[in-house]
């Protein structure tokens, strides 16, 4: 029974793919164990997005205290380091007010930083990022793996060389600091919340069930005003290269607003993108969260599987 693993006062971590029911489970636990919900979703931090990121609203917000939602500007720099510093303060705030922290979201990197520690790499200067972008544009994104192989073989041996975002990031770290990413990672400080000091829950679900929920939820988003939300963002500094503008469905709906795509086609493409994202999340969680409690919905109840 899920309730059995919750019979302590440890912080609860709830991870899972988009539309898997994380908010519902978090609210159930918060009500039963006098808890508060702390956001661990990289897009739900942004003030401009509420509908498309499925940020808690209405009755959900009224059910228990929620923190770290919708407090970051569209163009504001916000990294996992920013999140980790904020969540540390929020955990302390919750404890001082007699609330059990329930940290909930779909951003796996946030949970890894929380439970395994975050490498304290200095911010990459803008000119280095510009240099990297120009290098990739000129020679192709494979250039970063090639240069790591020569200049930072330790990182090259450990990194996913087929992931251009990671190889570019590793190249930027080496270029900016003179020290390889792998070396920085070896110097990672202790985690804020080691996994054995939490109740870690990973929501798993049937693919067809989840895909159906994703499709129905996106239709609801459109009915709730997702197009108007996109129009507002377009008037407030929309830039599809910004991390804040990666809300799934935004590019497709904005293409429709601009007259470049039929609405039905935009909605269908957004659903496909969301299902593909959920698949990537499931794969990542399955690989990285083997030591978490695996939880699924069975006959209307949450059960350890």
Q: Looking at the structure, tell me whether residues 114 and 195 fall in a common domain.
A: yes
- What CATH number should be reported for the domain holding residue 250? 1.10.287.890
Segments forming the whole domain that contains residue 159 = 126-186
CA gap 295, 305 in Å, rounded: 6
The answer to whether the annotation marks 247 as part of a ligand binding site is no
Task: Give the chain's domain count.
Answer: 3
- What CATH number should be reported for the domain holding residue 141? 1.10.20.140
- Long-range contacts made by residues 129-136, C-beta under 8 angstroms, separation at least 24? 129/172, 131/175, 132/168, 132/171, 132/172, 132/175, 136/164, 136/168
The answer to whether the annotation marks 16 as part of a ligand binding site is yes
The answer to whether the annotation marks 151 as part of a ligand binding site is no
The answer to whether the annotation marks 18 as part of a ligand binding site is yes
The answer to whether the annotation marks 115 as part of a ligand binding site is no
The answer to whether the annotation marks 20 as part of a ligand binding site is yes
CA 224-258-57 angle, 5° bins: 20
**Neighbouring C-alpha atoms within 13 Å toward the C-beta of 169:** 14
CA gap 138, 254 in Å, rounded: 29
Q: Looking at the structure, tell me whether residues 195 and 299 fall in a common domain.
A: yes
The answer to whether the annotation marks 19 as part of a ligand binding site is yes
Q: Looking at the structure, tell me whether residues 168 and 250 fall in a common domain.
A: no
pLDDT in tens, the chain (305 residues): 688 899 999 999 999 999 999 999 999 999 999 999 999 999 999 999 999 999 999 999 999 999 999 999 999 989 898 999 999 999 999 999 999 999 999 999 999 999 999 887 888 999 999 999 999 999 998 999 999 999 999 999 999 888 888 899 999 999 999 999 999 988 888 999 999 999 999 999 999 999 999 999 999 999 999 999 999 999 999 998 898 999 999 999 999 999 999 999 999 999 999 999 999 999 999 999 999 999 998 888 889 98
Instruction: Find out whether 103 and 13 touch, Cβ atoms under 8 Å.
Output: yes
Q: Looking at the structure, tell me whether residues 171 and 103 fall in a common domain.
A: no
Beta bridge partners of residue 36, listed in sequence order: 101
Strand ranges, E, within the chain: 12-15, 35-39, 66-67, 100-105, 199-203, 293-298, 301-304
Q: Looking at the structure, tell me whether residues 8 and 97 fall in a common domain.
A: yes
CA gap 199, 13 in Å, rounded: 6
- What CATH number should be reported for the domain holding residue 7? 3.40.50.300
């Amino acid at each position: 029974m899920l309730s059995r693993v919750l019979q302590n006062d440890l912080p609860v971590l709830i991870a899972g793919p988009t539309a898997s029911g994380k908010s519902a489970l978090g609210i159930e636990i918060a009500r039963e164990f006098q808890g508060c919900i702390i956001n661990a979703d990289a897009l739900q931090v942004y003030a401009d997005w509420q509908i498309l990121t499925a940020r808690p609203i209405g009755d959900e917000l009224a059910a228990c205290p929620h923190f770290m939602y919708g407090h970051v500007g569209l163009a504001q720099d916000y990294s996992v380091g920013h999140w980790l510093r904020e969540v540390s303060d929020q955990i302390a705030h919750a404890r001082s007010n007699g609330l059990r922290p329930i940290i909930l979201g779909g951003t796996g990197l946030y949970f890894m930083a929380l439970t395994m520690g975050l490498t304290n790499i200095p911010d990459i200067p803008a000119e280095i990022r510009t240099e990297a972008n120009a290098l990739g544009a000129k020679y192709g994104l494979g250039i970063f793996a090639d240069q790591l192989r020569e200049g930072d073989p330790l990182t090259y041996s450990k990194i996913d060389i087929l992931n251009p975002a990671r190889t570019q990031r590793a190249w930027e770290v080496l270029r900016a600091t003179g020290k390889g990413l792998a070396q920085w990672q070896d110097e990672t400080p202790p985690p804020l919340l080691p996994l054995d000091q939490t109740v870690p829950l990973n929501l798993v679900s049937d693919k067809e069930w989840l895909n159906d929920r994703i499709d129905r939820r996106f239709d609801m988003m459109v009915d709730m005003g997702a197009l108007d939300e996109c129009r507002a963002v377009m008037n407030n500094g929309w830039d599809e290269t910004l991390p804040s503008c990666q809300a799934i469905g935004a590019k497709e709906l904005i293409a429709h607003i601009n007259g470049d795509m039929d609405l039905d086609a935009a909605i269908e493409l957004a659903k496909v993108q969301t299902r593909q994202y959920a698949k990537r999340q499931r794969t990542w969680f399955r690989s990285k969260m083997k030591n978490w409690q695996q939880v699924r919905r069975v006959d209307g109840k949450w059960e350890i599987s």
